[in-house]
Amino acid sequence: MIDPDNAYEGLVDTDTHGQWAFGTSFDEPLAGVDTTVPDGVDVHALAVYCLMLGDDALISSQRLTEWCTRAPELEEEVALANIGLDLVGQARLLLARAAAADPSVVPRISDTSPVPDEDALAFFRDEPGFLNVRLVELDNGDFAESVVRLLVFTSWRLAALDRMRDSRDPVIAAVASKGVKEMTYHRDYAARWVVTLARGTDESRRRTDHAVSKVWPYVPELFEPADEEIALAKVAVAVDPRDVRAEFDAAIGLVFGAAGLDVPQVPGVGRVGGRAGRQGLHTEALSRILAEMQSVARAHPEGRW
């Protein structure tokens, strides 16, 4: 119990750490969870798939947190931060699952490093080792660009997570079951803002039109399956992204219809040598994200926090 006459008492409580929202230490993310790989599942493919899903969430979260102190209103700043926290939670579980499935994917720091596997994957992989789609790494731009990007991302991810609830992998199924609830809110938030901006002033409409034209070339990549996705979909672990295109189009159609927007008919961003985000080929924006996100961990790789 904090003394009501001393508002600062909790800030110096060195025993309980009650001043911190989440405490000063974390349990193992998969503690108590059965991490046995289902029969007939390639462990490396499973690890790579979890890295794909985890990286999508991690990089998207990093972009959303950049709105802290910059959002149009305090309420939107809190909303975007909360969405980012949900995605960090998904990323942590998925990266931990990747490490549990195939420890060889975890960067080696040292024999004495205190860094958990999921943190090593987040902070000590180089750019080509990240397997996120290129959509999530795009610069925030203005608020319209960010909410249009969020609408696209959440509509796609929600459709996929909904199917992943039936995954034979217990961790993926658990993440998906919780993630569906989170992503439903995320999509609704983005959809409401897209309609509001598109139906608002001439300037907000202009910015929304520009945002759609900037984001849409990155949509086709979302539905181009990697080899691991195809292989794992055949054994009922993963979702082939091609299977969720119709659901994505229907959701976007409803929002765009309410907003009075047209779905652009534009070519997708090309691959280089057959490679895109899932194969470790990224835009220049990702290198800037990683430089900021990883700087402290790389400067103090043996640090204990």
Q: How far apart are CA 134 and CA 72, in angstroms?
A: 26
**What does the pLDDT read at residue 16?**
46
**Positions of the chain with pLDDT lower than 50, given as ranges:** 1-2, 4, 6-25
pLDDT attached to residue 287: 95
Domain assignment present for 106 = yes
- Give, in degrees to the nearest 5, the angle at Cα 132 between 230 and 207: 120
pLDDT of residue 302: 77
3-class DSSP state for residue 272? strand
- 96-140 pLDDT, tens per residue? 999 999 999 999 888 778 888 999 999 999 999 999 999 999 999
**For residue 75, what pLDDT is reported?**
87
Domain annotation covers residue 59: yes
In a domain, 94, yes or no: yes
Note whether residue 304 is domain-resident: no
CB distance 280 to 130 below 8 Å: yes
Count of all residues that appear for the chain in the document: 305
21, part of any domain = no
Residue 50, domain CATH: 1.20.1260.10
**Which of 153, 271, 257 is closest to 215 using CA atoms?**
153
User: Per the domain annotation, does 1 fall within a domain?
Assistant: no
Alpha carbon of 193 to those of 31, 150, 157, 209, 221: distances in Å? 38, 10, 18, 13, 24
Residue 170 belongs to what domain range? 40-263+273-299
> How many domains does the chain fold into?
1
The pLDDT of residue 1: 44
CA dihedral 125, 129, 133, 136 (to 10 degrees): 20
Judge whether 92 lies within some domain. yes
- 179: in domain: yes
The structure tokens listed for 117 are 């596997």
